[in-house]
């Protein structure tokens, strides 16, 4: 809706002009407000803010000025400012606690990222080495050491006898140690 259209409609019927403005720009305003407030406000607060935006537009939009063009810029600005104000208000009341340097240091001490990264790398290398064993040895090793299954349970999975599973398991562990030794990993 252009400034001129709105001005002409408000002269005829202010109520009708406001209703048409609301219908035309509701989705636009709601999108702006929702995107700003979705993380910190309830659905009711968002709807109230949308209503406040339209109330401010009705009160403060000057139809007496000689303007040209669309009025969506004015409406968008009011929506962004209203939602920003409510966002700041809600965030100032939030239960977040700022972290000081001492607390941050304690958190960092509890979480050893370097050690965690080394462990992840070691796991990746071991899993790659297990996959190099081929089937059914890799399945036997994973089932036995990762899932803790017995030879009888593994035998059902890989369609071998429990005795064969035990023999293949010990041979697979021996092969796995050789593969890991090539990568300078000793378990």
CATH number at residue 41: 1.10.1740
**Are 86 and 141 within one domain?**
no
Residue entry with tokens 């089932």? 143
The reported pLDDT for the residue numbered 102 is: 58
Q: Of the candidates 63, 92, 121, which is a domain's last residue?
A: 92
**Are 11 and 55 within one domain?**
yes
**Are 29 and 77 within one domain?**
yes
Nearest to 67 by CA among 7, 14, 17: 7
List of the chain residues with pLDDT < 70: 62-64, 66-68, 94-114, 186-187
**Are 81 and 130 within one domain?**
no
**Are 173 and 125 within one domain?**
yes
Contact (Cβ atoms closer than 8 angstroms) between residue 55 and residue 78: no
**Are 86 and 118 within one domain?**
no
Contact (Cβ atoms closer than 8 angstroms) between residue 79 and residue 32: yes
Contact (Cβ atoms closer than 8 angstroms) between residue 49 and residue 86: yes
Residue 104 resides in a domain: no
Residue 25 resides in a domain: yes
**Are 82 and 123 within one domain?**
no
Residue entry with tokens 């002269």? 11
Distance CA 142, CA 90 (A): 51
**Are 87 and 118 within one domain?**
no
Residue 101 resides in a domain: no
**Are 137 and 76 within one domain?**
no
* Helices 14-37 and 43-60, packing angle to 10 deg: 140
Helix (H) or strand (E) holding 1: none
Residue 131 resides in a domain: yes
Count of domains in the chain?
2
Percent of the chain clearing pLDDT 70 (strictly above) = 84
**Are 27 and 80 within one domain?**
yes
Range of the domain at 82: 3-92
Q: What CATH number does residue 174 fall under?
A: 1.10.10.10
> What three-state secondary structure class fits 153?
helix
Nearest to 40 by CA among 100, 97, 84, 99: 84
**Whole-number Cα distances in Å, 162 to 41, 142, 151, 177:** 60, 16, 5, 23
pTM of the predicted model as reported, rounded to 2 decimal places? 0.48
Residue 70 resides in a domain: yes
Residue 107 resides in a domain: no
């Amino acid at each position: 809706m252009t400034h001129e259209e709105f001005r002409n409609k408000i002269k005829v019927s202010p109520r009708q002009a406001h209703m048409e403005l609301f219908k035309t720009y509701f989705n636009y305003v709601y999108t702006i407000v929702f995107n700003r407030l979705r993380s910190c406000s309830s659905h009711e607060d968002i709807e109230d803010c949308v209503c406040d935006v339209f109330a401010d537009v009705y009160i403060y939009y000057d139809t007496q000025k000689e303007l040209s063009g669309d009025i969506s810029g004015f409406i968008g600005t009011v929506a962004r400012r209203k939602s920003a104000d409510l966002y700041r208000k809600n965030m100032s009341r939030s239960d977040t606690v700022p972290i000081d340097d001492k607390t941050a240091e304690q958190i960092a001490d509890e979480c050893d990222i370097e050690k965690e990264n080394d462990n992840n790398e070691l796991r990746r290398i071991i899993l790659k080495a297990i996959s190099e064993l081929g089937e059914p040895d890799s399945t036997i090793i994973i089932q036995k050491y990762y899932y803790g299954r017995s030879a009888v349970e593994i035998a059902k999975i890989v369609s071998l006898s429990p005795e064969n599973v035990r023999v293949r398991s010990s041979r697979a562990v021996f092969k796995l140690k050789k593969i890991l030794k090539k990568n300078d990993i000793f378990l």
